[in-house]
Structures are given as structure tokens and as C-alpha cells.
Amino acid sequence: MSAAPGSPQAATLAGRRIVVTRPAGQADALAGMIEARGGRAIVFPVIEIRDVEDVRPLLAVVDRLETYDLAVFISPNAVAKAMNLILARRAWPQGLVAAAVGRESERALVRHGVGRTVAPRERFDSEALLALPELADVAGKRVVIFRGDGGRELLGDTLTARGATVEYAECYRRTRPVADVAPLLTAWARGEIDAVTVTSSEGLANLFDMVGKLGQQWLRRTPLFAPHERIAANARALGLERVVLTGPADAGLVAGLEAFFAKLP
């Protein structure tokens, strides 16, 4: 997946070995972008996405989808899990507006045939979504939030405070994978890891636990790239010494990596 020799991208991450911690099946885009710039992506998933154990509450929401005024999708995982189930049972209601926290989720909704969508254009988090005019006047409206198990309550709490009736629809579970960490530790011991990327605070916590005390020593000294200040703050709280805040999404991570390594010999 590397760029052709001599192309503008070929050398920007040349020789850099970068850990990609996105879930299995969702790391290819970021890994490909790294490798297209001459780097080596070390894929080490720190979150596993699973189906909910009891699908009946989710099906109940799907079967009365037309009763909602707004459907919010927290992540691409929420889009994939919920929309596959929805479209297997019914059509998307024409009058139902969908909102997404990020551009990737918005694009996924469009691919599933959802025509009316809203999403932030710059920052991709609950705060940015709540700042949109479409979510300002929600008094008396019914809102369903498709998400994984648990998660932040800011979105639902704020919409409730604005007068909406909010219901959560949990459509997937996040778990910590059972993984062989030995190859990662060996690479660290050999000095073969130049950077780590993390895309959620939960993933960061999982990574920290998975690598154990020895790996934590190396992790603290390895440049860690995070696309959100909340993740970066959690990394600093864990004692990581070189935390780099990047722009959002994969493009932001790659741009941050390029800028960082451009300054090094």
C-alpha cells in the first residue's frame, strides 16, 4: 500500500514505525495512509466491537423509529450496527433527521441511504454537535441516540436540559481484546516503535493495561498522537511524557505525525 517511489508522499514518514490501535477491521485506512507515506503501521487493536447480548430493546426502538424527530449516531460503529439492523427490518422514515458526531459517521449514513443528515464540520465530538443550530431548539422533540454500551452522557443530558425527550439505543459493546502483547513489547525492546496513535480514551486505558508494567515504561517515553484534547489529557494523567494533539480523524493524525517527524533528524 506504499506510494510510488519519488511521489510527494513517499518520504514524509519514511522508516517510521507507528502503532495503530483502532479496532480490528477499522485500522486499514489509517494504516494505509501511514504506509503510503513510507512508514510502517503496526496494527494492535485495543478495542473489540461486539454485538449487544440482548437485541430486543434495540429492535423495539427500530420498530417505532418514525416516532422520533432526531436520530443521533455517536460513531461509525453505531451507524454500521444500527443501520444494518434497521434496513433489514424496515425503510428509514422519510421525515427523520439523522445527526452524526463525525464526518465518517455522516458519510456512512449517506451510504446507507439516509438523506437528511447533520454533522459538525471542524471538531468532531459531542460538544461540536451540540453547538449546531439544528440541535439548539429541541424542546418537545423526541430524540434517540444510537451508541455503544455506556459512554458519555453529555449529549443526552444537554438535549434533555434543552427540553427534548431522549432515549438511548445501545447497538454494540466495546470490550478489551485478548491479544498477544509479546511482539509489541519485543519491538519496543529493540527500539522499533517510533510513535503510537490512539483514538479514544477507552482505547488508551486498554492499551495501558494490556502492555503491563514493562510496556508502560516504554509507552510513557514514546510519542503518542491523539486527535482530541480529552484523550491527550488522559494520556498526560497516565504519565506519558510526549503527547501530541493532532487534528481530527485519520487525516489529522497523519498530518500530526508528518509535522512531528519533519522536525526530527
Rounded Cα distance between 1 and 184, Å, is 22
Same domain for 216 and 249, yes or no, is yes
Summarize pLDDT for 204-219 with one digit per residue, the tens.
999 999 999 999 999 9
pLDDT recorded at residue 213: 97
CA–CA separation, 126 vs 146, rounded Å? 13
Same domain (yes/no): 229, 186? yes
Q: Do strands 243-245 and 224-226 pair parallel, antiparallel, or not at all (unpaired)? A: parallel
The domain tally of the chain equals 2
Query: Is position 64 within any domain?
Result: yes
The yes-or-no verdict on residue 256 having pLDDT over 80 is: yes
Same domain, 169 and 202: no
167 in the same domain as 68:
yes
Q: Are residues 111 and 25 in the same domain?
A: no
Percent of the chain predicted with pLDDT > 90: 83
**Same domain as 194, residue 208:** yes
Confidence band (pLDDT; 50, 70, 90) for 1?
very low
Please state the pTM of the whole predicted model: 0.85
- Do 169 and 92 belong to one domain? yes
Please report which confidence band the pLDDT of residue 130 belongs to, taking 50, 70 and 90 as the band edges. very high
**Between vectors from CA 99 to CA 128 and to CA 249, what angle results, nearest 5°?**
55
Mean pLDDT of 217-227: 97
Domain extent for 91:
50-174
Cβ within 8 Å of residue 25, ≥6 positions away: 49
Domain boundary among 124, 143, 174: 174
Helices (H) and strands (E) in the chain, counts: 11, 11
Residue position matching grid coordinates 512531528: 260
Domain boundary among 125, 151, 174: 174
pLDDT average, residue stretch 15-38: 94
| pLDDT for residue 7 | 45
Which cell numbers in the block locate residue 242? 510526549
- 24 belongs to a structural domain: yes
Does 8 reside within a domain?
no
Average pLDDT for residues 14-38, to the nearest whole number?
A: 94
Q: Answer yes or no: are the C-beta atoms of 52 and 150 closer than 8 Å.
A: no
Q: What is the CATH classification number for the domain harbouring 224?
A: 3.40.50.10090
Cross-strand partners of 1: none
- The answer as to whether 6 is a domain residue is no
Q: Are 84 and 116 in contact (CB under 8 A)?
A: no
pLDDT at 78: 94
Same domain, 150 and 70: yes
Domain shared by 134 and 208, yes or no: no
159 and 107 in a common domain: yes
Domain boundary among 125, 159, 174: 174
Instruction: Using alpha carbons, select from 26, 1, 58 the residue that is nearest to residue 197.
Output: 26
Return the SS3 of 98: strand
**pLDDT confidence of residue 9:** 58
| Residue 244 in grid coordinates | 501530541
Instruction: Please tell me the number of Cα atoms within 13 Å of 25 on its side-chain side.
Output: 7
Beta strands at 40-43 and 48-50: parallel, antiparallel or unpaired: unpaired
Average pLDDT across the chain, whole number: 92
Q: Are residues 90 and 116 in the same domain?
A: yes
Q: Are residues 61 and 79 in the same domain?
A: yes
